[in-house]
């Protein structure tokens, strides 16, 4: 199991370096595909992956990515309202075929799996995005690694014992500190190339620290959903890691966190 996880992890890192480094249409298409697969995994948990509610969710996610590509984010609220109206129309005219919870998760899933992850592409498309996009990985995968190491070494106090017995407060603090340090060190190397970030060392460290806190919320949120529905993993697409949502659960939160943190800090 560890061997599969290690090999998969190395492959993921290599793919991330190539795809994120290239950016543009390659990253856009990849982010869109990951979002749709993640949305399918979430809908499968709720057993709406193949019904009309799920179809509306997939179409809405695809429409949203269309807006992102053509820089039409000002129409996102209109899109959300239209999607909700269609979902409620299906709910009403087929009543009592679907439950309220199914309609809710169909709408929620679009923002959880598609809108939030789209900020990976949107950060890369920012000015200085070729550098800033890596802060997303430092504050998610970097935070996970640092939290694990610190928790194993000095972890004593449980963070949320009912939800995740192995996570500790010490590990959580270590994850945030580690992510901030990674952001600072990264800016020490590449900060001089950032044209629109004032004091990049401080900005990158603070952005990573903020996103690392939110990253752990994202990780625990995914665990909570799985526990509520008695499943171990969202899928088996990534050997040793599970599904898309198992591997990208924290990144769903760090991508928008880095986008807005950098926007305000710079």
| pLDDT of 31 over the 90 cut | yes
Which residues contact residue 79 at a Cβ distance below 8 angstroms, ignoring those fewer than 6 apart? Answer: 60, 63, 64, 67
Number of domains in the chain: 1
Confidence at 150, pLDDT banded by 50, 70, 90: very high
Confidence at 262, pLDDT banded by 50, 70, 90: very high
Pick from 266, 186, 218, 46: which is nearest to 117 by CA?
218
Cβ atoms 3, 9 nearer than 8 A:
no
| SS3 call for 239 | coil
| pLDDT of 39 over the 60 cut | yes
Each residue of 61-87: pLDDT tens digit? 999 999 999 988 899 999 999 999 999
Confidence at 88, pLDDT banded by 50, 70, 90: very high
State the average pLDDT over residues 176-181: 96
Domain holding 97, by residue range, is 2-265
Each residue of 91-140: pLDDT tens digit? 999 999 999 999 999 999 999 999 999 999 999 999 999 999 999 999 99
Confidence at 2, pLDDT banded by 50, 70, 90: low
- Which structure tokens are listed for 238? 């990534």
Query: How would you class 236 by CB atoms within 10 Å of its CB: exposed for 0-12, middle for 13-18, buried for 19 or more?
Result: exposed
pLDDT of residue 3: 64
């Amino acid at each position: 199991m560890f061997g599969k996880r290690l090999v998969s992890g190395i492959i993921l890192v290599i793919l991330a370096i190539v795809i994120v480094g290239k950016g543009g249409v390659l990253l856009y298409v990849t982010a869109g595909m990951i979002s749709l697969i993640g949305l399918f995994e979430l809908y499968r948990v709720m057993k709406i992956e193949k019904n009309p509610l799920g179809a509306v969710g997939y179409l809405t996610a695809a429409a949203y990515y269309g807006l992102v590509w053509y820089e039409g984010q000002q129409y996102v609220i209109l899109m959300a309202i239209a999607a909700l109206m269609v979902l409620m129309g299906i709910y009403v005219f087929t009543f009592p075929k679907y439950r309220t919870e199914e309609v809710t998760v169909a709408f929620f899933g679009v923002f959880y799996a598609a809108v939030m992850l789209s900020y990976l592409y949107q950060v890369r498309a920012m000015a200085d995005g070729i550098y800033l996009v890596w802060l997303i990985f430092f504050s998610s995968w970097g935070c996970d690694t640092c939290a694990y190491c610190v928790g194993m070494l000095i972890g004593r106090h449980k963070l949320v014992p009912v939800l995740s017995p192995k996570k500790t407060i010490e590990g959580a603090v270590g994850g945030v500190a580690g992510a901030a340090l990674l952001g600072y060190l990264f800016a020490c190397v590449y900060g001089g190339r950032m044209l629109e970030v004032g004091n990049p060392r401080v900005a990158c460290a603070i952005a990573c620290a903020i996103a690392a806190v939110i990253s752990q919320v994202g990780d625990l949120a995914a665990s909570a959903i799985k526990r509520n529905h008695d499943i171990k993993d969202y899928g088996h697409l990534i050997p040793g890691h599970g599904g898309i949502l198992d591997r990208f659960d924290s990144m769903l939160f760090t991508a928008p966190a880095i986008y807005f943190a950098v926007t305000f800090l710079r």
